[in-house]
Structure 1
Amino acid sequence: MFQNLDLFKTALSMAQHAGLKQALTAQNVANADTPGYRAQSVKPFADMVPPTSDGFALRATRPGHLAPTGDLSSAAISAQTNSDPNGNSVVLDDEILNSVDAKRQHDRALAVYRASLGMLRSALSKQ
Protein backbone atom coordinates (compact mmCIF):
# COMPACT_ATOMS: atom_id res chain seq x y z
CA MET A 1 0.00 0.00 0.00
CA PHE A 2 2.65 2.52 1.02
CA GLN A 3 4.95 1.57 -1.86
CA ASN A 4 2.61 3.43 -4.22
CA LEU A 5 3.05 6.82 -2.56
CA ASP A 6 5.18 9.10 -4.73
CA LEU A 7 7.14 10.52 -1.82
CA PHE A 8 8.29 7.05 -0.76
CA LYS A 9 9.20 6.22 -4.37
CA THR A 10 11.24 9.40 -4.63
CA ALA A 11 13.07 8.68 -1.37
CA LEU A 12 13.81 5.12 -2.52
CA SER A 13 15.10 6.31 -5.91
CA MET A 14 17.27 8.93 -4.25
CA ALA A 15 18.75 6.35 -1.86
CA GLN A 16 19.42 3.92 -4.73
CA HIS A 17 21.09 6.70 -6.71
CA ALA A 18 23.28 7.57 -3.71
CA GLY A 19 24.24 3.92 -3.35
CA LEU A 20 25.19 3.69 -7.01
CA LYS A 21 27.24 6.88 -6.71
CA GLN A 22 29.04 5.55 -3.64
CA ALA A 23 29.76 2.21 -5.37
CA LEU A 24 31.23 3.93 -8.42
CA THR A 25 33.33 6.17 -6.20
CA ALA A 26 34.69 3.13 -4.33
CA GLN A 27 35.46 1.41 -7.63
CA ASN A 28 37.28 4.51 -8.89
CA VAL A 29 39.38 4.78 -5.72
CA ALA A 30 40.20 1.06 -5.85
CA ASN A 31 41.48 1.49 -9.42
CA ALA A 32 43.32 4.77 -8.82
CA ASP A 33 46.69 3.18 -9.69
CA THR A 34 45.48 1.00 -12.57
CA PRO A 35 47.02 2.19 -15.84
CA GLY A 36 44.45 3.04 -18.48
CA TYR A 37 41.48 2.92 -16.08
CA ARG A 38 38.71 5.42 -16.87
CA ALA A 39 36.91 6.80 -13.84
CA GLN A 40 33.14 6.41 -13.95
CA SER A 41 30.56 8.85 -12.67
CA VAL A 42 26.81 9.06 -12.41
CA LYS A 43 24.60 11.93 -13.51
CA PRO A 44 23.12 14.03 -10.68
CA PHE A 45 19.79 12.80 -9.36
CA ALA A 46 18.02 16.00 -10.38
CA ASP A 47 19.07 15.46 -14.00
CA MET A 48 17.49 12.01 -14.01
CA VAL A 49 14.04 13.23 -12.97
CA PRO A 50 12.08 14.30 -16.03
CA PRO A 51 10.97 17.94 -15.81
CA THR A 52 7.29 18.82 -16.00
CA SER A 53 6.01 22.02 -17.48
CA ASP A 54 3.20 22.69 -15.03
CA GLY A 55 4.86 21.37 -11.86
CA PHE A 56 2.75 18.22 -11.72
CA ALA A 57 3.89 14.85 -12.99
CA LEU A 58 1.67 12.38 -14.81
CA ARG A 59 0.18 9.82 -12.48
CA ALA A 60 -0.38 6.13 -13.22
CA THR A 61 -3.91 5.20 -12.17
CA ARG A 62 -3.81 1.47 -12.97
CA PRO A 63 -1.17 -1.20 -13.70
CA GLY A 64 0.45 -0.79 -17.09
CA HIS A 65 -0.57 2.86 -17.40
CA LEU A 66 2.43 5.15 -17.92
CA ALA A 67 5.02 2.48 -17.07
CA PRO A 68 8.45 3.62 -15.81
CA THR A 69 10.84 4.50 -18.61
CA GLY A 70 14.06 2.87 -17.49
CA ASP A 71 16.49 1.59 -14.92
CA LEU A 72 18.38 4.00 -12.71
CA SER A 73 21.70 2.19 -12.98
CA SER A 74 21.98 1.61 -16.73
CA ALA A 75 21.74 5.02 -18.42
CA ALA A 76 23.31 7.15 -15.72
CA ILE A 77 26.89 5.89 -15.77
CA SER A 78 29.50 7.64 -17.90
CA ALA A 79 33.28 7.45 -18.16
CA GLN A 80 35.43 10.48 -17.46
CA THR A 81 37.92 11.48 -20.13
CA ASN A 82 40.63 13.53 -18.42
CA SER A 83 43.75 11.42 -17.95
CA ASP A 84 47.05 11.12 -16.15
CA PRO A 85 50.29 10.35 -18.01
CA ASN A 86 49.62 6.63 -17.36
CA GLY A 87 46.15 6.91 -18.96
CA ASN A 88 44.27 6.82 -15.66
CA SER A 89 41.49 9.39 -15.19
CA VAL A 90 40.90 9.02 -11.42
CA VAL A 91 41.36 12.22 -9.41
CA LEU A 92 41.28 11.33 -5.71
CA ASP A 93 40.21 14.82 -4.63
CA ASP A 94 37.15 14.56 -6.85
CA GLU A 95 36.39 11.07 -5.55
CA ILE A 96 36.48 12.31 -1.96
CA LEU A 97 33.98 15.04 -2.85
CA ASN A 98 31.80 12.50 -4.70
CA SER A 99 31.81 10.26 -1.64
CA VAL A 100 30.75 13.10 0.64
CA ASP A 101 28.03 14.11 -1.81
CA ALA A 102 26.72 10.53 -1.94
CA LYS A 103 26.60 10.39 1.87
CA ARG A 104 24.68 13.66 2.03
CA GLN A 105 22.25 12.48 -0.65
CA HIS A 106 21.65 9.23 1.22
CA ASP A 107 21.06 11.11 4.47
CA ARG A 108 18.65 13.42 2.64
CA ALA A 109 16.73 10.44 1.27
CA LEU A 110 16.44 8.95 4.76
CA ALA A 111 15.26 12.28 6.15
CA VAL A 112 12.54 12.51 3.47
CA TYR A 113 11.49 8.93 4.21
CA ARG A 114 11.39 9.48 7.98
CA ALA A 115 9.47 12.76 7.68
CA SER A 116 6.89 11.31 5.32
CA LEU A 117 6.53 8.24 7.52
CA GLY A 118 5.94 10.53 10.51
CA MET A 119 3.29 12.48 8.60
CA LEU A 120 1.63 9.23 7.60
CA ARG A 121 1.64 7.97 11.18
CA SER A 122 0.11 11.19 12.48
CA ALA A 123 -2.56 11.11 9.78
CA LEU A 124 -3.51 7.55 10.71
CA SER A 125 -3.44 8.07 14.47
CA LYS A 126 -6.62 8.64 16.44
CA GLN A 127 -5.44 11.89 17.98
Structure 2
Amino acid sequence: MFEKIEVMRMARALGHHASQRQITVARNIANADTPDFKARDVQSFADSYRAASEPLRATDPRHLQAPGWSPAARQVSDETGVSPNGNSVSLEEEMLKAAEVKRSHDLSLGIYRSALDLMRTSIGRRA
Protein backbone atom coordinates (compact mmCIF):
# COMPACT_ATOMS: atom_id res chain seq x y z
CA MET A 1 0.00 0.00 0.00
CA PHE A 2 2.71 2.51 0.98
CA GLU A 3 4.76 1.94 -2.18
CA LYS A 4 2.00 3.60 -4.22
CA ILE A 5 2.30 6.86 -2.29
CA GLU A 6 4.98 9.00 -3.91
CA VAL A 7 6.11 10.72 -0.68
CA MET A 8 6.64 7.37 1.03
CA ARG A 9 8.49 6.00 -1.99
CA MET A 10 10.72 9.07 -2.10
CA ALA A 11 11.47 8.91 1.64
CA ARG A 12 12.38 5.23 1.32
CA ALA A 13 14.62 5.95 -1.68
CA LEU A 14 16.31 8.81 0.19
CA GLY A 15 17.00 6.53 3.15
CA HIS A 16 18.41 3.84 0.86
CA HIS A 17 20.60 6.40 -0.91
CA ALA A 18 21.88 7.67 2.45
CA SER A 19 22.80 4.14 3.52
CA GLN A 20 24.63 3.45 0.25
CA ARG A 21 26.53 6.71 0.53
CA GLN A 22 27.43 5.95 4.16
CA ILE A 23 28.91 2.61 3.08
CA THR A 24 30.95 4.36 0.38
CA VAL A 25 32.20 7.04 2.78
CA ALA A 26 33.15 4.39 5.36
CA ARG A 27 35.11 2.45 2.74
CA ASN A 28 36.94 5.61 1.71
CA ILE A 29 37.87 6.39 5.31
CA ALA A 30 38.96 2.79 5.95
CA ASN A 31 41.27 2.95 2.93
CA ALA A 32 42.69 6.40 3.65
CA ASP A 33 46.23 4.97 3.94
CA THR A 34 45.99 2.36 1.19
CA PRO A 35 48.38 3.14 -1.68
CA ASP A 36 46.75 3.83 -5.07
CA PHE A 37 43.21 3.80 -3.59
CA LYS A 38 40.87 6.18 -5.40
CA ALA A 39 38.10 7.83 -3.39
CA ARG A 40 34.61 6.98 -4.59
CA ASP A 41 31.22 8.58 -4.17
CA VAL A 42 27.71 7.70 -5.29
CA GLN A 43 25.78 9.97 -7.62
CA SER A 44 23.49 12.55 -6.05
CA PHE A 45 20.06 11.53 -4.83
CA ALA A 46 18.32 13.77 -7.34
CA ASP A 47 20.14 12.15 -10.26
CA SER A 48 19.63 8.60 -9.03
CA TYR A 49 15.95 9.17 -8.20
CA ARG A 50 15.31 10.81 -11.56
CA ALA A 51 17.01 7.94 -13.37
CA ALA A 52 15.00 5.32 -11.46
CA SER A 53 11.62 7.01 -11.79
CA GLU A 54 9.61 7.80 -14.87
CA PRO A 55 10.95 10.62 -17.02
CA LEU A 56 9.33 14.00 -16.56
CA ARG A 57 6.90 14.94 -19.25
CA ALA A 58 5.88 18.38 -20.34
CA THR A 59 2.24 19.15 -19.73
CA ASP A 60 2.28 22.12 -22.04
CA PRO A 61 4.27 22.52 -25.29
CA ARG A 62 5.10 26.09 -24.23
CA HIS A 63 7.25 24.89 -21.31
CA LEU A 64 10.93 25.70 -21.64
CA GLN A 65 13.93 23.51 -20.92
CA ALA A 66 16.16 24.45 -17.99
CA PRO A 67 18.84 26.93 -19.12
CA GLY A 68 22.50 26.10 -18.60
CA TRP A 69 22.94 28.69 -15.84
CA SER A 70 20.13 27.39 -13.63
CA PRO A 71 20.76 25.16 -10.59
CA ALA A 72 18.77 22.38 -12.28
CA ALA A 73 21.30 22.17 -15.12
CA ARG A 74 24.40 22.45 -12.94
CA GLN A 75 26.78 19.49 -12.92
CA VAL A 76 28.84 18.81 -9.81
CA SER A 77 32.36 17.52 -10.20
CA ASP A 78 34.52 16.36 -7.34
CA GLU A 79 38.18 16.72 -8.14
CA THR A 80 40.50 15.90 -5.29
CA GLY A 81 44.24 15.94 -5.05
CA VAL A 82 46.27 12.76 -5.02
CA SER A 83 48.88 12.08 -2.34
CA PRO A 84 52.39 10.91 -3.26
CA ASN A 85 51.39 7.25 -2.71
CA GLY A 86 48.52 7.59 -5.22
CA ASN A 87 45.73 7.74 -2.63
CA SER A 88 43.01 10.31 -3.35
CA VAL A 89 41.09 10.12 -0.03
CA SER A 90 40.79 13.38 1.90
CA LEU A 91 39.62 12.75 5.46
CA GLU A 92 38.25 16.28 5.73
CA GLU A 93 36.06 15.80 2.66
CA GLU A 94 34.93 12.38 3.85
CA MET A 95 33.89 13.83 7.21
CA LEU A 96 31.87 16.51 5.41
CA LYS A 97 30.24 13.79 3.30
CA ALA A 98 29.44 11.83 6.49
CA ALA A 99 27.68 14.91 7.89
CA GLU A 100 25.68 15.24 4.64
CA VAL A 101 24.73 11.56 4.90
CA LYS A 102 23.45 12.03 8.44
CA ARG A 103 21.43 15.05 7.35
CA SER A 104 19.94 13.06 4.44
CA HIS A 105 19.07 10.16 6.70
CA ASP A 106 17.42 12.46 9.24
CA LEU A 107 15.49 14.15 6.44
CA SER A 108 14.19 10.83 5.12
CA LEU A 109 13.04 9.82 8.60
CA GLY A 110 11.37 13.18 9.12
CA ILE A 111 9.51 12.96 5.82
CA TYR A 112 8.42 9.39 6.54
CA ARG A 113 7.27 10.30 10.06
CA SER A 114 5.33 13.35 8.80
CA ALA A 115 3.64 11.30 6.07
CA LEU A 116 2.60 8.66 8.61
CA ASP A 117 1.22 11.33 10.95
CA LEU A 118 -0.74 12.82 8.04
CA MET A 119 -2.15 9.40 7.14
CA ARG A 120 -3.12 8.69 10.77
CA THR A 121 -4.84 12.05 11.01
CA SER A 122 -6.71 11.48 7.74
CA ILE A 123 -8.18 8.18 8.99
CA GLY A 124 -9.15 9.71 12.33
CA ARG A 125 -6.39 8.43 14.57
CA ARG A 126 -4.18 10.87 16.42
CA ALA A 127 -0.42 10.39 16.36
TM-score (norm 2): 0.74
Distance, in Å, in 2 between the alignment partners of 1:103 and 1:6 is 22
User: Residue in 1 aligned with 2:19?
Assistant: 19
Post-superposition offset of 1:82: 3.9
Matches within 5 A, 1:79-90: 82-90=81-89
Residue aligning to 2:121: 122
Q: Cα RMSD (Å) of the superposition?
A: 2.2
TM-score by length of 1: 0.74
Partner of 2:33: helix, strand, or coil?
coil
Q: CA deviation at 1:43?
A: 1.2
Amino acid paired to 1:27: R
Query: SS in structure 2 opposite 1:13?
Result: helix
Aligned-pair CA distance for 1:81:
6.6
Q: Please say if residues 35 and 88 of structure 1, whose CA atoms lie closer than 8 Å, have aligned partners that are also in contact.
A: yes
The DSSP-based 3-state class of the residue aligned with 2:41 is: strand
For residues 22-55 of structure 1, what are the alpha-carbon distances to aligned partners after superposition, in whole Å with 9 as ceiling and x for unaligned? 1110100000000011111011111223262548
**Structure 2 unpaired stretches of 5+:** 60-77
How far residue 80 of structure 1 moved from its aligned partner, in angstroms, is 6.8
Q: How does 1:1-127 map to 2 (within 5 A)?
A: 1-50=1-50, 52-54=56-58, 82-125=81-124
Q: How many equivalent pairs are there?
A: 104
Identity %: 38
Greater strand content: 1
